[in-house]
Amino acid sequence: MEKIAENDLAFLYHAPLEKQPEPLIYLGHLIVETRRHTTGWDQLTDQEGAAVGQMVARAARALKSVVQAEHVYVFGIGHNVPHLHVHVIPRYPGAPRVYWGIRVTEWDAAPRGGINEVDHLCQRLRQFFDTAIPTFPPQ
């Protein structure tokens, strides 16, 4: 797992390669996860909700800046793992409307990569977090 940012309550990382059916992953598919095990939004404390929301907002800004995302989607879906995962996924310029929304990662022409490309992107995203916005949590 490529951690990009973290605080006492949550962390942000790139979606792992091993969970993907193809050898290449949709670049920029980020995940925010709480440190404490929770299965849904209803189980978050107010502080955890605020930390997750802030991290999602900052991840979206990072994707807009670093990969020039045209739009950033935020999904809280999935039942494979009983743990709250918030997916933050860029829509790249030129994506046909049929791939907007939940099908965004199905667009074949979107940037994809293996471990080296994910590592490079994570370095660029960490640099954005380190230089463009305050560290977590805000003072």
Whether pLDDT at 16 is above 50: yes
CA distance 125 to 44: 26
What confidence category does residue 77 fall into, taking pLDDT thresholds of 50, 70 and 90? confident
CA distance 44 to 105: 28
Percentage of the chain exceeding pLDDT 70: 87
* Domain ranges (residues) in the chain: 2-132
Do residues 76 and 41 make contact, with C-beta atoms less than 8 angstroms apart? Answer: yes
Instruction: Supply the CATH classification number for the domain 2-132.
Output: 3.30.428.10
Computed from CA positions of residues 78, 83, 84, 89, in that sequence, does the dihedral angle turn out positive or negative?
negative
What confidence category does residue 27 fall into, taking pLDDT thresholds of 50, 70 and 90? very high
CA distance 123 to 71: 21
- Residues paired with 91 in a beta bridge: 71
- What separation in angstroms does the CA of 55 have from each of 13, 23, 71, 115? 11, 28, 17, 24
Which are the contacts of 122, defined by CB distance < 8 A and separation ≥ 6? Answer: 2, 3, 4, 14
What mean pLDDT comes out for the span 33-60?
93
- What separation in angstroms does the CA of 18 have from each of 14, 15, 58, 88? 12, 9, 26, 18
Q: Give 78-108 pLDDT, tens digit per residue.
A: 666 778 899 999 999 999 999 999 999 999 9
Whether pLDDT at 136 is above 70: no
Q: For the ranges 51-65, 80-94, 108-122, which has the lowest average pLDDT?
A: 80-94
Whether pLDDT at 19 is above 60: no
Nearest to 54 by CA among 81, 78, 86: 86
Q: What is the mean pLDDT of the chain?
A: 88
What confidence category does residue 135 fall into, taking pLDDT thresholds of 50, 70 and 90? very low
